[in-house]
Chain A
């Protein structure tokens, strides 16, 4: 039996600054989304789950993690709902709950942030290597990595900023 959490929508509205109860489920958002077909719950379904209080289902969905925040959907939405902001809110709740449905995407973001924390900027080569290590997927992009290195798209050495301590201090929460 699905558990309905009547306060879920209020929580999402507060974190996202948008009002999901305005959605009339036309699914224009989903039609515009290029990645909806690889989401288990599509953008309009996510909004619907929020509307009717199915929090556990929303937090367990891959949709918010696949979402790249391109804003295509929110441009389509006749009710000006900030759909990616809802995705952000759901992701934040899933992280807070410690149950992350798409670990590899989470790890990717963590690698980016790790790089910013270490250098103040992103170091693409290190991110790619570490991501591949964490996701134990070493060979899939080997050929691409070599091609990018030979075209000097991936730098061997990171550039580190002087104020890296300032930046590190911002990372209290994410670790």
Chain B
């Protein structure tokens, strides 16, 4: 892939986490996308996808909340998500609408437009899988010397009905590897961060989070890198180990690797474990 390609336009669905508690994730994500030729057009007036809560207590509402966004989205371009939870909710709703004619009739009644199967949701991983990001840093390995633990949490797990769709195990390692970073072998990569139990059962979440971070430490990682804003938050707020390592967003490290970081102090002051000493030592800031 060359650097001078025409931008790909996508409808961008940031979701609540990236828009609020993980603004540093959103800012770096936007810069990175622009740098690699992806034009994000934020879906006007999008609403929350319902997250685990709508899904937990009212299945129909969970579909309806996604449906409004699907109805609002313009035809002809994919809907891009980066939050794994939003992605799953969108995929499930889309799948349900594909399967059930009743659901499609209801959709039309509710929103005044027919359900358009072509308005598919695409996770950021799907978009960059197969791209050679190192083409944007010719002749350089900007992440050389960085040893990290790739953390996916539950984002690659899915229900049996979506089992035959493609998946992206190894994507973090592949992309960050082309930029020179070294992934450790460790036990934590697919362990769930606890999501809402962080609020409702904090002690149990701390137990789980500590085990993940400890496993990263034991394997010699200097930081954890995750593509989920919710994971990043839980790993930071619920960890109470004496020794901790920074937890970086995938988008932050990608943007830094491309040398495009702007106002990064604003990103890093939102982290509870300061990543600046590490990033400075690696010459990334």
Chain B residues near A68 (CB-CB < 8 A): 52, 192, 194-197
- The one of A84, A155, A173 that contacts B60, using a Cβ cutoff of 8 Å: A173
A17 at the interface (CB under 8 A from B): yes
Partner of A120, one of B21, B48, B154, B271: B48
B157 touches A71 (CB 8 A): yes
**CB–CB A84/B53 < 8 A:** no
User: In the complex, are the beta carbons of A69 and B52 less than 8 A apart?
Assistant: yes
| Least Cβ–Cβ distance between B21 and chain A, in angstroms | 4
CB distance from B195 to the nearest CB of A (A): 5
Whether the Cβ atoms of A151 and B272 lie closer than 8 Å is: yes
- Assuming A105-B200, A151-B269, is B58 touching A174 (CB within 8 A)? yes
Q: Is A7 an interface residue (CB 8 A)?
A: no
Residues of chain B contacted by A174 (CB below 8 angstroms): 57-58, 61
- B168 to chain A: closest CB distance in Å? 14
Residues of A within 8 Å of B55, CB to CB, are 69, 88
B256 CB-CB contact with A under 8 Å? no
In the complex where A68-B194, A106-B57 touch, is A112 in contact with B163 (Cβ < 8 A)? Answer: no
State whether B46 touches A161 (Cβ < 8 A). Answer: yes
Q: Considering the chains assembled together, what is the distance between the CA atoms of A80 and B157 in angstroms?
A: 13
For A159, the chain B residues whose CB sits under 8 A away are 19-20
Given contacts A34-B194, A70-B195, A74-B157, A167 and B65 within 8 Å (CB-CB): yes
Q: Which residue of A lies closest to B47 (CB)?
A: A120
- Whether A153 contacts B270 by the Cβ 8 Å rule is yes
Q: Which A positions have Cβ atoms within 8 angstroms of B?
A: 17-18, 34-35, 38, 66, 68-72, 74-75, 77, 80-82, 84-85, 88, 91-92, 95, 104-106, 108-110, 112-113, 115-116, 120-124, 128, 131, 140-141, 144, 147-148, 151-155, 159, 161-163, 166-167, 170-171, 173-174
In the complex, the 10 A-B pairs of residues with the closest C-beta atoms, listed nearest first = A70-B154, A112-B53, A70-B192, A71-B157, A109-B53, A80-B160, A120-B47, A153-B21, A170-B64, A122-B16
Starting from the known contacts A74-B158, A109-B57, A170-B68, 14 additional A-B residue pairs (CB-CB under 8 Å) come to A35-B194, A72-B192, A84-B159, A108-B200, A113-B58, A116-B54, A141-B202, A144-B237, A151-B270, A152-B270, A167-B47, A170-B64, A171-B61, A173-B61
